[in-house]
């Protein structure tokens, strides 16, 4: 088979079985592990599949973002671990952007005692938390309100956020692959892009369950990020692939996952 035929075969098999191991694919196709990995890489780049430990699965679709309260209850331990790892990157006197989301809130909790910081966010929950638990300089973007996620999105928000020069920007997402971020909303991409354009260092913070999720709209390539912070559930092969693209990957300490 030529590569395109093998890749179509892999997709057809995944449609029936959901997940296949590398070993299964080598036996089914009669080719080497390296050949299968190359085929999987091509399929990942087009967002049709996602790597899992020792194998591959079809990408999962996200049609609508969950409300903030529902998100907060999902993978809470992993988010705490990611928040701790991300917060350790924040140095004295920095201007910090915290993107809307529950992982950003965990970072906020870790830096709340840092009165030397300037924190900018588009998230109402993060802003409310820091306004009562911190004495840092605090700015909210304003703009069009997205009620479900308790944040501001859209062009006016993006424009407001270009006023700042960020030392570090922590960007969240519900959907990402080796190719980049996607979203069911066209209003989030401009906000993230505007911040990244103004940041000295851009950090993607996302737990491992978000990897392989795909939504309708591509909003950012992964190449815009300097660093990815995730949890120990991430497939080591994906971590290696990210590092091969010169993205620094921080895997949050397992000890943090046990925090109550």
- Cα–Cα distance measured from residue 141 to residue 143, given in angstroms and rounded to the nearest whole number: 7
For the chain, the domain total comes to 2
* pTM for the structure as a whole: 0.78
Residue 17 and residue 118 in one domain? no
Domain coverage including residue 47: 3-58
Residue 156 and residue 196 in one domain? yes
Assigned token pair, 224: 């815009």
Per-residue pLDDT of the chain (260 residues; tens, 9 = 90+): 889 889 988 988 887 777 889 999 999 999 999 999 899 988 888 777 888 878 888 877 655 555 655 565 567 889 999 999 999 999 999 999 999 999 999 999 999 999 999 999 999 999 999 999 999 999 999 999 999 889 999 999 999 999 999 999 999 999 999 989 999 989 999 999 999 999 999 999 999 989 988 888 999 999 999 999 999 999 898 999 999 999 999 999 855 445 43
- Cα–Cα distance measured from residue 176 to residue 25, given in angstroms and rounded to the nearest whole number: 24
Residue 234 and residue 150 in one domain? yes
Residue 191 and residue 242 in one domain? yes
Residue 76 and residue 157 in one domain? yes
- Cα–Cα distance measured from residue 4 to residue 1, given in angstroms and rounded to the nearest whole number: 8
Residue 148 and residue 204 in one domain? yes
pLDDT of residue 259: 45
Residue 189 and residue 241 in one domain? yes
Residue 41 and residue 74 in one domain? no
pLDDT of residue 216: 86
175, 240, 241 from 235: Cα distances, Å: 16, 9, 10
**How many Cβ atoms sit within 10 Å of the Cβ of residue 259?**
10
27, 47, 74, 140, 212 from 215: Cα distances, Å: 32, 10, 19, 27, 10
pLDDT of residue 260: 39
């Amino acid at each position: 088979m030529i590569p395109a035929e093998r890749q179509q075969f892999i997709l057809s098999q995944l449609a029936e079985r959901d997940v296949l191991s590398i070993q299964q694919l080598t036996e089914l196709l009669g080719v080497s592990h390296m050949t299968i990995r190359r085929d999987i890489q091509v399929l990942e780049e087009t967002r049709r599949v996602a790597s899992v430990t020792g194998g591959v699965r079809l990408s999962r679709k996200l049609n609508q973002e969950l409300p903030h309260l529902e998100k907060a209850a999902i993978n809470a331990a992993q988010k705490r671990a990611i928040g701790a790892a991300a917060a350790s990157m924040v140095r004295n006197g920095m201007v910090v952007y915290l993107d809307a989301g529950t992982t950003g809130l965990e970072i906020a909790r870790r830096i709340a005692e840092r009165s030397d910081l300037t924190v900018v966010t588009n998230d109402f929950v993060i802003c409310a938390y820091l306004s009562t638990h911190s004495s840092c300089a605090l700015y909210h973007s304003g703009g069009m309100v997205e009620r479900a996620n308790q944040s501001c999105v859209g062009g006016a928000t993006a424009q407001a956020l270009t006023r700042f020069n960020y030392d570090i920007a922590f960007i969240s997402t519900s959907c990402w692959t080796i190719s980049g971020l996607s979203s069911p909303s066209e209003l989030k991409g401009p906000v993230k892009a505007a911040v990244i354009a103004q940041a000295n260092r851009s950090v993607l913070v996302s737990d491992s369950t978000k990897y392989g999720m795909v939504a309708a709209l591509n909003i950012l390539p992964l190449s815009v990020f300097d660093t990815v912070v995730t949890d120990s559930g991430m497939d080591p092969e994906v971590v290696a692939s990210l590092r091969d693209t010169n993205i620094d990957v921080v895997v949050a300490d397992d000890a943090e996952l046990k925090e109550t």
